[in-house]
Chains A and B, each alone.
Chain A
Amino acid sequence: MAAGVAAWLPFARAAAIGWMPVANCPMPLAPTDKNKRQDELIILNVSGRRFQTWRTTLERYPDTLLGSTEKEFFFNEDTKEYFFDRDPEVFRCVLNFYRTGKLHYPRYECISAYDDELAFYGILPEIIGDCCYEEYKDRKRENAERLMDDNDSENNQESMPSLSFRQTMWRAFENPHTSTLALVFYYVTGFFIAVSVITNVVETVPCGTVPGSKELPCGERYSVAFFCLDTACVMIFTVEYLLRLFAAPSRYRFIRSVMSIIDVVAIMPYYIGLVMTNNEDVSGAFVTLRVFRVFRIFKFSRHSQGLRILGYTLKSCASELGFLLFSLTMAIIIFATVMFYAEKGSSASKFTSIPASFWYTIVTMTTLGYGDMVPTIAGKIFGSICSLSGVLVIALPVPVIVSNFSRIYHQNQRADKRRAQKKARLARIRVAKTGSSNAYLHSKRNGLLNEALELTGTPEEEHMGKTTSLIESQHHHLLHCLEKTTGLSYLVDDPLLSVRTSIIKNHEFIDEQMFEQNCMESSMQNYPSTRSPSLSSHPGLTTTCCSRRSKKTTHLPNSNLPATRLRSMQELSTIHIQGSEQPSLTTSRSSLNLKADDGLRPNCKTSQITTAIISIPTPPALTPEGESRPPPASPGPNTNIPSIASNVVKVSAL
């Protein structure tokens, strides 16, 4: 439950008046306020500065230092105040959190000092409000990076003794500065990349004529030399790729990474060329493949941080570029259409179709103006509009895009942060919600376990549940009333419960009847002794639904049995109530006196009213609802159960 609305709990409990007349069952008892204190002012002395607040303000957040009994450790008897030897400035923010429900981060504070204070007072930093959260996270990240950089530079100086050979190699690949060998390798590969690129370029330069034939490019003239160079480069690249593949901590991820794809694309053409023969048909395709050799230049990005950043920013700026492209395309199509129709009339015009005018439009808009297509008078008007608008269309977005680079870069970072924060926030809200509902189910479960323990009389730890605050117990009572009103119950599916109970009861459940008898007897025996203490200790949890005398039940929580036995367990864990017939509250002594009690009926009309706690989500089919067989005549407790056991849905006492 959100602590901020604890003050409205009385209202919520009062609003439950609407459920009372429609409820068919009596409500559980309310938790009483044992030490009903009037709301009082308490004084918090933080390093000499006195803060005062109401006690209930602090109790809004019972899981923090100030809201729990932990602050009693700081109570100073002489001065009757709570003394904290901490920073009063930060305490101001902390106390405002209790008052307003929002935690703020003051900008002038050091982030680590603030974190320390929050940790001391038991407040999670995730609660920081939206207004200050971004700032907090930024500062925290900066700080963390700074610390990490310090650590890294320390680490680089020391030797890491325990790295394996593979890890050393990977480190050498990623950070060439770690060792001399890595540096040498780094420069050698860089050199060969450069050589390879220059080779590719020079290959195509015409090298002078061989007598008796036309001018040849160098590549064909000195083909052997170039081939050797190419082979050498490719071999180096292959070796490098294989070494990286070997050293990579996650090979699968390495193969999928961009750099390794570039590596592969760079060296594949060579191998494909080796494999293929000088076949006329495929040589055309082969030539195309050689184009991919230019990708070797991208291998430089491993060597240059700047290239990597450029690539990343282009990627993140893709939407703006896309928009520019889209608007240009729109303009091109518009003007090409206009030019085409303007030039349609004139003969011998080059504007034969709209796609043919595209070229003119592009050339004009980018102010290139080759002059291969020139319009006539009508076209000139539109052509001039085209070139003017081209200037605007292109010149305007370019500076915007340039400034967008830095803005978008930061903005993307912040958008991701906000998304992560939103996810974290939603997760927090969900956790708080499930926390509050879990708290209720938890207390139910604890109540259940406590009773189980009492029943079996084992001297195990009886302090199962932690003491809940008054507000929590009142909230749980409210939820419990709702369960009673509707006759449904919140699901507890907790494997822990089943484990514990199977520990408690080490039976081999061979014989259902035997077990039932055992249970009946043990519960009957324990009846006088255990019921009253448990009644008083768990006021909200032991009144049973629909029984006039709030008595008991064979209260054996379910345990982890195979499905065939499961049904019997379910039944055993509950009192069974029959909708229209018979009374046997056989498990309680009082039932022996009970006759066919029509009085029960107004309380529980339907036979489906259960508040069973089932530890394993059982298929509902196991408990057929609504039908009931006629009960046997004898009211004996032991014999009744097996016969009725199979079809009636039971109700458990909580």
Chain B
Amino acid sequence: MDRCARRCRSPLGQAARSIYQLVAGSLSPDSVEDEFELCTVCHRPEGLEQLQEQTKFTRKELQVLYRGFKNECPSGMVNEENFKQIYSQFFPQGDSSTYATFLFNAFDTNHDGCVSFEDFVAGLSVILRGTIDDRLNWAFNLYDLNKDGCITKEEMLDIMKSIYDMMGKYTYPALREEAPREHVESFFQKMDRNKDGVVTIEEFIESCQKDENIMRSMQLFDNVI
């Protein structure tokens, strides 16, 4: 009877609604407002030649990139949900949505809520083909959530937590609550030269250039494509 009651309620609701509509004389169809999709319009990127000029990819690389891009996003634009979903497929064990949001904001340079192919390829060009300084700049831009030119501890903590989130629950050693915070502290100790609690772009680049590990890992990106 319980199950019946539950299932009875919805036909009852519908019956009541339709009776009301009959009486009130308004048998209009449900007006569902379509959400205004920013990216329903199919977007075509600029021509290959222009992209070749703007980025440092070769023609073939651009072709390969575009084919992959268009396959996942036939409309030509990625919105945040799509972006998160694509990125989460690489990290099945953890929750990558926060980091994906930060990435999305970093790629979406004109802040219109969509990443077009030009944005996508511009970002990739910096990361994969740019100089070390360009890459560090890009990374700084990623960390600087409110784009005010300096990284505060709170911003860094958010980023750190999102990275740790991607690992998921089943790790060894088990993730402790303070691990991100401690990591942020160590980061600031390394980067924040004048100890003013924020890291500016100059401090960031300077500290990174002094760190061999970071320099070496930045070179990893040379062979990604």
Residue B71 is within 8 A (CB to CB) of chain A in the complex: yes
Q: Are B217 and A23 in contact (CB under 8 A)?
A: yes
Contact of A319 among B8, B139, B191 (CB under 8 A): B8
B213 with A25: CB separation less than 8 A = yes
Q: Which residues of B contact A613 (CB under 8 A)?
A: 172
CB <8 Å contact, A608 and B173: yes
| Residues of chain A at interface, number, CB under 8 A | 70
Please tell me the number of chain B residues within 8 Å of chain A, measured between CB atoms.
73
Indicate if the CB atoms of B124 and A18 lie closer than 8 Å.
no
A8 — which chain B residues lie within 8 A by C-beta? 68-69, 72, 86, 90
- A488 and B175 in contact, given A9-B90, A27-B217 (Cβ under 8 angstroms): yes
B182–A605 CB distance below 8 A: yes
The interface residues of chain B lying within 8 Å CB-to-CB of A54 are 67
Q: How far is the CB of A613 from chain B (nearest CB, A)?
A: 8
Would you call A56 an interface residue if the criterion is a C-beta within 8 Å of the partner chain's C-beta atoms?
yes
Contact of B71 among A4, A14, A23, A649 (CB under 8 A): A4
Does A503 interact with chain B (Cβ within 8 Å)? no
Write out, one digit per residue, whether chain B residues 198-225 have a CB within 8 A of any chain A CB (1) or not (0): 0000001000100101101110110111
**B175 adjacent to A39 (CB under 8 Å):** no
Contact of A18 among B99, B172, B179, B213 (CB under 8 A): B99
Question: Does chain A have a CB within 8 A of B186?
Answer: yes
Contact A22 B159 (CB under 8 A): yes
B117-158: which have CB < 8 Å to A?
120, 123-124, 127-128, 135-136, 138-139, 142-143, 156
* Residues of A close to B1: CB separation below 8 A: 322
For chain B, what secondary structure do more than half of its interface residues adopt (helix, strand, loop), or is it mixed? helix
List chain B residues, Cβ under 8 A from A32: 223
CB nearest to A489 among chain B residues: B172
Task: Note all chain A residues with C-beta closer than 8 A to B120.
Answer: 11
CB atoms of A5 and B72 under 8 A apart? yes
Residue in A1, A17, A33, A319 with the greatest tally of chain B CB atoms within 10 Å: A17
Q: How many angstroms from the CA of A10 to the CA of B214 in the assembled complex?
A: 20
Which stretch (B29-37, B38-46, B47-55, B160-168) binds chain A?
B160-168
Does A38 contact B60, Cβ atoms closer than 8 Å?
Answer: yes
A486 touches B11 (CB 8 A): no
**Cα-based distance from A4 to B136 in the complex (angstroms):** 31
CB of B17 within 8 A of chain A? no
* A238 contacts the other chain (CB 8 A): no
- Min distance, Cβ B114 to any Cβ of chain A, angstroms: 16
Q: A5-B86, A605-B186 given as contacts; is B167 within 8 A of A482 (CB)?
A: yes
Query: Contact: A22 with B163, CB < 8 Å?
Result: yes
Interface positions of B from 63 to 106, Cβ below 8 Å from A: 63-65, 67-69, 71-72, 86-87, 89-93, 99, 102-103, 106
Q: Are A491 and B217 in contact (CB under 8 A)?
A: no
Kindly state whether residue A220 has any CB partner on chain B within 8 Å.
no
A residues near B91, Cβ cutoff 8 Å: 479, 482
Query: Is A603 engaged at the interface, CB distance under 8 Å to the other chain?
Result: yes
Given the interface pairs A15-B103, A22-B160, A605-B186, the reply to whether A10 lies near B172 with Cβ below 8 Å is no
11 contacts between A and B (CB under 8 A): A7-B72, A8-B72, A21-B208, A21-B214, A23-B214, A23-B217, A30-B224, A56-B64, A437-B93, A475-B90, A487-B183
Per CB-CB distance, the 8 closest pairs between chain A and chain B, nearest first, are: A7-B68, A433-B92, A488-B171, A322-B4, A27-B217, A14-B127, A26-B213, A20-B217
Extra 12 A-B pairs, beta carbons < 8 Å, given A20-B220, A25-B213: A5-B89, A7-B68, A7-B69, A8-B86, A10-B225, A13-B221, A18-B99, A323-B12, A437-B93, A602-B211, A605-B186, A613-B172
Interface residue ranges, B against A (CB under 8 Å): 1, 3-4, 7-8, 11-12, 60, 63-65, 67-69, 71-72, 86-87, 89-93, 99, 102-103, 106, 120, 123-124, 127-128, 135-136, 138-139, 142-143, 156, 159-160, 163-164, 166-168, 170-176, 179, 182-183, 186-187, 190-191, 204, 208, 211, 213-214, 216-218, 220-221, 223-225
Using a CB–CB cutoff of 8 Å, the interface residues on chain A facing chain B are 1-2, 4-5, 7-15, 17-27, 29-30, 32-33, 38-39, 54, 56, 318-319, 322-323, 326-327, 432-434, 436-437, 475, 478-479, 481-483, 485-491, 602-603, 605-606, 608, 610-614, 620, 623, 625, 649
